[in-house]
Structure 1
Amino acid sequence: MQSTESDTGRGRCLLVIDFDHTISEKNTDSWVLRSLLSEDTVEKILASRQTEKFPWQQVMRNGFQALYNKNCFKDQIVNAIEEIPLVNGFAKFIESVGKQSHCEIIIASDSNTVFIEALLRKHKLVPYIDHVFTNPANFDNQGHLRLFPHHSHSCKTCEPNICKQKILRQHMEERERNGGKYDQIFVIGDGGNDFCPCKLLTENDVIFPRKGYRLIKKLERLSKSGDEEPVLASIVPWEDGEDLLASFKQVAGLRLE
């Protein structure tokens, strides 16, 4: 799913898109556990987030161990993922923007490669995504789904396995090393960890926070409190993919299908 400017012609416009509750209507991690394990088992696994203070990735490792113990292997897990609905209209949004030769789309997510790639394939969205930055995962020889951190970082607010600000910064630096620069960057997401990359944006860039979720609430508190340095980018809320596509056309000045 990785390509370069030389073979796509993309690059003046960069979209950084979250996955869970942004492209996928549901949280992919909890969906899989709830689809294949008993309610009591799932609640005990998820409760360890608070009771044991486990990082989310450790919670999911425990969940994947429970799936393995129940003999839930690749086919069952992938089938469960493929049942997750996408946010209404989001497939059309990705397809419409992805057809633009000067727009690059990357996904930055705390899900994992197995889940994201399965759902993108299901909805035929792979050709429109230039790169997926997420936690590596694979099935070992015994059919156990193994999960690994995307990277290490020094951010104090993000999960220890992934920081989307670091992802965006490194991606921008790589483009500059290749002699290019993005004219405009759009961050599209819903959660608290989608706020971190927003700190890198300029007045020319745009944040698209999903209505009713943590990112927009964080941005609203920030604008009122004055305790933190406000983000510089414009803020354009959205509800679903159709709403987002209409706003994106207007903000980016593009004629999309």
Structure 2
Amino acid sequence: LMNCTPLSSLYDRYTQRFLVLFDFDETIIGESSDDAVIRLLPGQQLPAWLTNSFREGHYNENTQKVLAFMAEQGVSEESIRSAVEKIPAAPGVLKLLQFLQSRQQDFELVVVSDANSYFIQAWLERAEVRHLFRKIFTNPAGFDTNGRLVLLPYHSHSCPRCPDNMCKQAILREYVADRQRERGGAAFQKVFYVGDGANDVCPSLALGPQDVAFTRRGFPMHRLLVELQRSAGFKANVVPWVCGEDIVDCLERILKER
């Protein structure tokens, strides 16, 4: 996407009416960044002993083992970065980001992802869209002197629904409250959450009746939200998407309401 405006001037100039939160894997990009990197291994897959050691809800711990194994196999930082940069965007997402850039006076954008900072920064910079996002919430990661990508958990929390290293609802609630204070008490008119996975359900539960959960059609988040909608507990509007243009269409209609 076009010219990079410095974040400070971009966000000091406007008080955006709307907040858009994006997941990363299989939402901004078309597949899991972990899968793309694992294909760098001999045989393009993990050994059975490592796959069998996975524990549900311990993504961060599992991925630390994978990254240590990759370093042992001699997979370099250059090849990892290149593999991440080459991941295609999800269908129509670059057009969606182009639309949001054209309406930056209305939309504030953040990433909330259980991937890691190295993968996300590398991809967004190569796609020339990093400047669009005010904040990236994800697990910290960086290469050590031995050439190993070291991953840390984002935070600790007490939410029983979420992996032990990240509760996206806690991040969403804290960010919205912080931004309202920073904006002199001005709340966002609407919050939009764009996701695909089971861990995108928890933050969607914090959305109100004026907000929208954009859920990738046919993915776990979509199936789970359809079930939740049958109960009286889910407040937000649910809009399934197949491509970024579906989200653009909905946002354009909302902009025309006022």
TM over 0.5: yes
Q: Deviation per CA, 1:14-69, whole angstroms, max 9, x where unpaired?
A: 001111111110101122112334345355433322xx557111111111011110
Shift of 1:195: 0.8
Alignment counterpart, residue 245 of structure 2, candidates 233, 242, 248: 242
For the pair 1:47 / 2:52, whether they are aligned, the reply is yes
Contact 1:92 1:241 in 2 (8 A): yes
Given the superposition, is the C-alpha separation of residues 246 and 37 from structure 1 closer, same or farther in structure 2, using an over 3 Å criterion?
Answer: farther
Tell which deviates more after alignment, 242-251 or 141-150. Answer: 242-251
> How many residues align structurally?
250
- Once the two structures are TM-superposed, the CA of residue 72 in structure 1 deviates from its matched residue by 1.3
> Is 1:76 equivalent to 2:82 in the alignment?
no
Structure 1: which 5+ runs fail to align?
none
Confirm or deny that 1:145 pairs with 2:149: yes
Partner of 1:18: 23
Partner of 2:109: 105
| Structure-1 residue corresponding to 2:3 | none
Output the CA distance in 1 between the equivalents of 2:10 and 2:132: 14
Residue 5 of structure 1 and its aligned partner are, at CA, apart by 7.9
Alignment equivalent of 2:225, drawn from 197, 215, 219? 219
The equivalent of 1:128 in structure 2 is 132
Match of 1:176 in 2: 180
- Alpha carbons 2:196, 2:215 under 8 Å: kept: yes
Structure 2: which amino acid aligns with 1:13?
F
Match of 1:162 in 2: 166
SS of 1:236's equivalent in the other structure is: strand
Question: Which one is further off, 159-168 or 32-41?
Answer: 32-41
Q: Secondary structure of the residue that 1:185 maps to in structure 2?
A: strand
2:27–2:196 CA contact under 8 A, matched in 1 = yes
1:191 matched to which residue of 2?
Answer: 197
* Equivalent position of 1:65 in the other structure: 68
Of 24, 33, 40, 1:28 maps to: 33
The answer to whether structure 1 residue 85 and structure 2 residue 88 are counterparts is: yes
Distance in 2, Cα, partners of 1:254 & 1:71: 55
**1:159, distance to aligned residue in structure 2 (A):** 0.6
Cα distance change of structure 1 residues 252 and 196 upon mapping to structure 2, 3 Å threshold: farther
**Counterpart of 2:58 in structure 1: which amino acid?**
P
Are 2:23 and 2:200, in contact at CA under 8 Å, matched by a contact in 1?
yes
1:12 partner letter: R
**1:219 to 1:144, Cα distance in 2 relative to 1, 3 A:** same
- Whether the 8 Å CA contact 1:73–1:145 is kept in 2: the answer is no
* Equivalent pair of 2:200/2:221 in contact (CA under 8 Å): yes
- Residues 25/44 of structure 1: CA separation in 2 closer, same or farther (3 Å cut): farther
CA–CA distance in structure 1, aligned partners of residues 57 and 48 of structure 2: 14
In the superposition, relative to structure 1, how do residues 115 and 95 fare at CA in structure 2: closer, same or farther (>3 Å)?
A: same
Partners of 1:71 and 1:254 in 2: CA distance: 55
8 A Cα contact 2:77 2:143, kept in partner: yes
What is the one-letter code of the residue matched to 1:213?
A: F
Q: Contact 2:38–2:45 (CA<8 Å) still a contact in 1? A: no
Segments of 5+ residues of structure 2 without an aligned counterpart are: 1-5
State the one-letter code of the partner of 2:81. V
Work out the percentage of aligned pairs sharing the same amino acid.
32
CA offset digits 1:67-97 (Å, max 9, x no partner): 1101112101101111211112101211211
Residues 106 and 170 of structure 1, relative CA distance in 2, 3 Å threshold: same
Which stretch has the larger CA shift, 73-82 or 8-17?
8-17
